[in-house]
Chains A and B, each alone.
Chain A
Amino acid sequence: MNARGFAPHPAVRWLIGLAIIVLFAIPIVSMAEYTLRDATAGGHSLVHWIELFDPARAGTYRPIWTGLGNSAVLAVVTVAIVLLLLAPTMVLVELRFPKLKRPFEFLALLPISIPAIVLVVGLAPIYLAIGRTIGTGIWPLAFAYGVTVLPFAYRAIQAAIDATELRVLAEAARSLGASWPAVLVRVLAPNLRPGLLAASLISVAVVLGEFTIASLLNRQNLQTALVVVGKQDPYASVILSLLALAFAFVLLVVIGRIGGGTPRARRSARPPKDQP
């Protein structure tokens, strides 16, 4: 909208887009080609893909499906932590406690400088206690992931906050009779949506790619499962990496849908009943 004046020429945009697509396509296409190689018959075939669903080999692949489910649960809980805990806290700091902004930023960015190994050393006794009280289910691991995604989610949300006149909008809404929850849900969240969306996406990406913490805390997620299976069947490992990419892609699209698509699309698609 207001950035239109600075947008590059359409041809330049296409070129940049094309270059990026090619860059991403090369490894993905290579992976796909590898999974189609047929060592026994020579040439290419779907043999490795079919093996994946072979009931006789189901035992080998079972960890993958468990890991996939676990990672999905972790992604959802982590995104919930980002959207329901981090984002409202940041809004609160911005509006009510601006003096805490610097310390909060320092705290939020801190995890980026702490190696996962070090984090685990601190987390291990905590998760021992969690294991005894809440149980050894997978979802408490999302607390640790909430910490790892903190710097990325923080930056994404803060950028949106800085680009919005939060205070003016909140005060206007208050003067019009909105309660604080209404201010958050009806006014601030829609205007911070690009930032919230970006924070969610990056959180999902981080969670799906996480290996160290899960491995060292003896939890099974997608990455640990891929390593386990990859030791027995390298083809399966690459196929599943491909599938993981596709899965992440689908997840991002789903989250994008929940977010409501682009503002312009939402505007034209806005149902008339929403306008009193």
Chain B
Amino acid sequence: MTETAIATADNAILAGARAGSAVAFEGVVKDYGQTRVLHGLDLAIQPGEFVSLLGPSGCGKTTALRVLAGLERANGGTVRIGGSDVSAVPTNRRDLGMVFQAYSLFPHLDVTANTAFGLRMRKVAKREAAARVRDALALVGLAGFGERYPHQLSGGQQQRVALARALVTEPRVLLLDEPLSALDAKVRVTLRDEIRRIQLRLGITTVFVTHDQEEALAVSDRIAVMNAGRIDQIGTPEELYLRPATAHVAEFVGLSSVLPCTVGGGVAEVLGIRLPVVGEAADGPAEAFVRPENVRLGGPIDAVVLESTFLGSVRRTVLRTAGGQLLRMQHAVGERVEFDERVTLGIEPAPVAVRPREG
């Protein structure tokens, strides 16, 4: 498809699109039987914002999204879309678009009819619906696939159709629950970038659930890091990466080496090197999260190479210090190190996140 075709399709949808709506969770509580899955979730999303819910498996991301969609009823708290409480509004009247993790196209309908489903439910005139379906399919790069049935499409194509189907009604909010997790690595990257491009053009408020931090970092305006039914921190990808509020965030966003340290007066002493601490930290023994790109060859730390991986543009090496600590280093491809080689290391004085250590 040519660039102009994309632009025309986008503009056609843009013309009818409303500005995205704000979304808010206010103290949302959800129990499954005796188990509390959401512990008073608070989250405010600006109109047109792309927010990712990021967290380990089972932390309640899907549950939060389902409560927002009205597919689950919260046990407490309020969910607002566009400022008004939607707790009593059934799913079909919340004006949402949703893409599921599982393939969810209607098997008995072709791509055109699948995409038109939401318009049909809204009783949009056939002629107008046909035009909008064409535009939506062009938008996701599937012009000309209208006659196919879901079983005649690849997984990536199916999710594109699901996206077109969700967008064609110009919903107030787009909900994406790990829509890429069933796809292979390359398709994942292409499709996630495409989702972001479309989202930016349409300005639709989007909530994106993922447990893949790289995916969240790549596409989000802001990321809400969830942990056991609560939001640990919400911020831009840069904020989360550079100034993680909790050890969990530091651990979950980006790769870190966890090293014992001693904190005193806002400075952590790690392997004899003094590093500034992110945020507040109590004095005493602690663990510091050191980013691999802040570790470099040459310095006061003695270490031995355990393994070195060539990653294309960078090399990542795992080392063991003389004291037995494991350390990850990301360095230039030209800096070759051999297994069992003895090297010396330094750490850049970038701020580190710390968590208190027992004992």
A/B interface sample: 25 pairs, CB < 8 A: A1-B151, A168-B100, A168-B103, A169-B106, A171-B69, A171-B71, A172-B98, A172-B104, A172-B162, A174-B91, A175-B166, A176-B97, A176-B98, A177-B121, A179-B121, A182-B121, A191-B107, A263-B108, A274-B113, A275-B112, A275-B113, A275-B130, A276-B112, A276-B129, A276-B133
**Docked complex Cα distance between A176 and B185 (Å):** 29
Is residue B64 within 8 Å, beta carbon to beta carbon, of the partner chain?
no
Q: Is the CB of A177 within 8 A of B169?
A: yes
Bits for B245-288, please: 1 = Cβ < 8 Å to A, else 0.
Answer: 00000000000000000000000000000000000000000000
Q: Name the 4 nearest CB pairs between A and B, nearest first.
A: A176-B118, A175-B98, A177-B121, A172-B104
Query: In the assembled complex, how far is the CB of residue B106 from the closest CB belonging to chain A, in whole angstroms?
Result: 6
Contacts of B169 in A (CB 8 A): 176-177
Contacts of B69 in A (CB 8 A): 171, 175
CB-nearest residue of chain B to A180: B92
Bits for A1-34, please: 1 = Cβ < 8 Å to B, else 0.
Answer: 1100000000000000000000000000000000
Is residue A178 within 8 Å, beta carbon to beta carbon, of the partner chain?
yes
Query: In the assembled complex, how far is the CB of residue B99 from the closest CB belonging to chain A, in whole angstroms?
Result: 9
Contacts of B96 in A (CB 8 A): 175
Contacts of B100 in A (CB 8 A): 168, 171-172
Selected contact of B119 from candidates A187, A190, A276, CB within 8 Å: A276
Is residue A73 within 8 Å, beta carbon to beta carbon, of the partner chain?
no
Q: Is the CB of A172 within 8 A of B106?
A: yes
CB-nearest residue of chain B to A270: B110
Bits for B107-126, please: 1 = Cβ < 8 Å to A, else 0.
Answer: 11010110011111110001
Query: In the assembled complex, how far is the CB of residue B91 from the closest CB belonging to chain A, in whole angstroms?
Result: 4
Q: Is the CB of A276 within 8 A of B106?
A: no
**Docked complex Cα distance between A276 and B90 (Å):** 26
Instruction: Count A interface residues, CB 8 Å.
Output: 25
* Contacts beyond the supplied A176-B117, A177-B121, A276-B129: 17 A-B pairs with Cβ under 8 Å: A1-B151, A165-B102, A168-B103, A171-B71, A171-B91, A172-B98, A174-B90, A174-B92, A175-B69, A176-B98, A176-B118, A177-B118, A178-B121, A179-B92, A263-B108, A276-B112, A276-B133
Residue among B96, B117, B129, B162 having the largest count of chain A Cβ atoms under 10 Å:
B117
Is residue A116 within 8 Å, beta carbon to beta carbon, of the partner chain?
no
**Docked complex Cα distance between A165 and B103 (Å):** 9
Contacts of A1 in B (CB 8 A): 151
**Docked complex Cα distance between A168 and B121 (Å):** 18
**Docked complex Cα distance between A95 and B106 (Å):** 17
Is residue B165 within 8 Å, beta carbon to beta carbon, of the partner chain?
yes
Selected contact of A169 from candidates B91, B104, B122, CB within 8 Å: B104
Q: Is the interface of A mostly helix, strand, loop or mixed?
A: helix
CB-nearest residue of chain B to A171: B71
Contacts of A178 in B (CB 8 A): 92, 117, 121
Interface hits, B57-114 → A, CB 8 Å = 69, 71, 90-93, 95-98, 100, 102-108, 110, 112-113
**Docked complex Cα distance between A239 and B98 (Å):** 60
Contacts of A172 in B (CB 8 A): 98, 100, 104-106, 162
CB-nearest residue of chain A to B118: A176
Is residue A173 within 8 Å, beta carbon to beta carbon, of the partner chain?
yes
CB-nearest residue of chain B to A189: B108
Query: In the assembled complex, how far is the CB of residue B144 from the closest CB belonging to chain A, in whole angstroms?
Result: 14
**Docked complex Cα distance between A128 and B26 (Å):** 60
Contacts of A165 in B (CB 8 A): 102, 104
Selected contact of B121 from candidates A169, A171, A176, CB within 8 Å: A176
Query: In the assembled complex, how far is the CB of residue A43 from the closest CB belonging to chain B, in whole angstroms?
Result: 55
